Structure 1
């Protein structure tokens, strides 16, 4: 079994240091096999914000953790127009990682990160043709028994972003991206961006979407909350490519607590879910309830 912590949108520059420290304490206690951070390390891609984010990543690595990181749209300068177009991810590469499409593989999982942040799209994401080929090539030689996980900052699909049924824009080259994911037989697609927790079978979202399980992370440490969701991150137990447990770890104002605990099983066509009873529920507040309501 692989144990994976999936954090996103940590937004140094608009973060709560107390919550940052709490994520570190929780991770050290639980000892994940891999920590994934799916973008938006900073609020405005400023040097001091990247230095803080770098120190955070270095502390995790110094504790012995493997970290797979990809940039988000907030890691591209917004107001520094020259840098935005001339060297959009120069600071990210200097302080976080020079690898914009990182790869992790062990005996149980194969994980590919893809950079979807772009200068021109401001907040929206995009995948280019070279990255589509990379998805195919990287997963082509992976043992069929391993769980294939794709990580992006921007979701590949249009996602629910409010309680009124409104949907986000899908990532650029959406149709090509979905086709690539299908052909590569990706089992799990992880993303962030919207500061909202969500999980669903891709087949229930888009026709001909393939067999992926779509999992969104909320914001782990940012003070920029949406829809009254508190800070949270995802805790995954990946047993094999047709059985995955997801638990949302939720900030209750004083500490992180285990929230809803859901097992997803793949029957060869769709992912089905069932709630597990062994998870400790967070302190019952409307915010905590909102954070886990979409995980079902």
Structure 2
């Protein structure tokens, strides 16, 4: 069995220190095979926020892949946002959009952020043709007998949570991912967990969202998802801070 911890929206700068310590303790005690972070490491993409995120992630001492979230693009520096939007991520380069090959499961990244969009709310999701093309190429290289999960920040379609993603190109991307053999999509952004099955022309795909470890909670306490993969089957459970376990 392969066990994964899926966490999202940590928001250093508005982090919940108690929640971070709780998650780190769970990682240290339970030693998952990998940690998947689906975006929004920071609140305002400041250097000190990235530095704190890097130190925290490295201390987990686990294989980690990290997606870029909309909060991880510079807010107050137009030059940095449009010309060098990911420069402050460079210290975390080995973790960013890192494909993972584990026992019986492959994790493939998909970028859903954009430095600008033709709408007022740039925090919402956007899947470019370049981004989906890169992900489809990586999907083609995964072992045939693996359960394949795609990790991105924004839900590709709405999942009934209070917050929304309104991801442009998301539905078409989901159809393409299913056709290419993806079994599930892991996301964040909405700060509440969900696990639903979405029908596509190529068959059903699991859509799994993680909550938050920040102070910016919605309807769920600080939480993360625990995923078990065994014999091609995927089981999930939400681990909320304060549960007896």
TM-score after normalising by structure 1: 0.77
3-state SS of the aligned residue for 1:52? helix
What's the C-alpha RMSD, in Å, of the aligned pairs? 1.8
Query: Partners in 2 of 1:198 and 1:237 — Cα distance?
Result: 16
Q: Distance in 2 between matches of 1:107 and 1:130?
A: 29
Pair 1:83–1:174, CA change in 2 (3 A):
same
Q: Deviations over 1:209-266 (max 9, x none)?
A: 73211101000x2001113x1100000111133x2211111012xxx544xxxxxxxx
- Aligned positions of 1:95-134 closer than 5 A: 95-97=91-93, 100-121=96-117, 122-134=122-134
Q: 1:226 aligns with which of 218, 223, 230?
A: 218
Larger radius of gyration: 1
Q: 1:30 to 1:99 in 2, by over 3 A?
A: closer
Structure 2 Cα separation of the partners of residues 178 and 232 of structure 1: 25
In 2, distance between residues paired with 1:175 and 1:225? 27
* Contact persistence 1:186–1:211 (CA under 8 A): no
Distance 2:216 2:171 in 1: 31
Match of 2:186 among 190, 193, 199: 190
- Once residues 161 and 127 of structure 1 are traced to their aligned partners in structure 2, the CA distance between those partners, rounded to angstroms, is 20
Contact 2:111 2:152 in 1 (8 A): yes
Q: Which residue of 1 aligns with 2:46?
A: 46
Which stretches of structure 1, 4 residues or more, deviate above 6 A after TM superposition? none
The 8 Å contact of residues 112 and 125 in structure 2, kept in 1 or not, is answered as: yes
Q: Distance in 2 between matches of 1:115 and 1:213?
A: 18
- C-alpha distance in 2 between matches for 1:232 and 1:218: 5
Q: Which runs of 5+ in 2 are unaligned?
A: none
TM-score computed with the length of structure 2 as normaliser: 0.92
| Larger relative contact order, structure 1 or 2 (CA cutoff 8 Å, min sep 6) | 2
| Aligned residues between the structures | 241
Q: What's 1:57 paired with?
A: 57
Aligned to 2:77: 80
1:149 aligns with 149
Matched, 1:168 2:164: yes
Aligned to 1:199: 195
Q: Which ranges of structure 1 fall in alignment gaps of 5 or more residues?
A: 259-296
Q: Are the aligned partners of 1:39 and 1:70 in contact in 2 as well (CA < 8 Å)?
A: yes
Distance 1:168 1:16 in 2: 22
Deviation at 1:116, TM superposition (A): 1.4
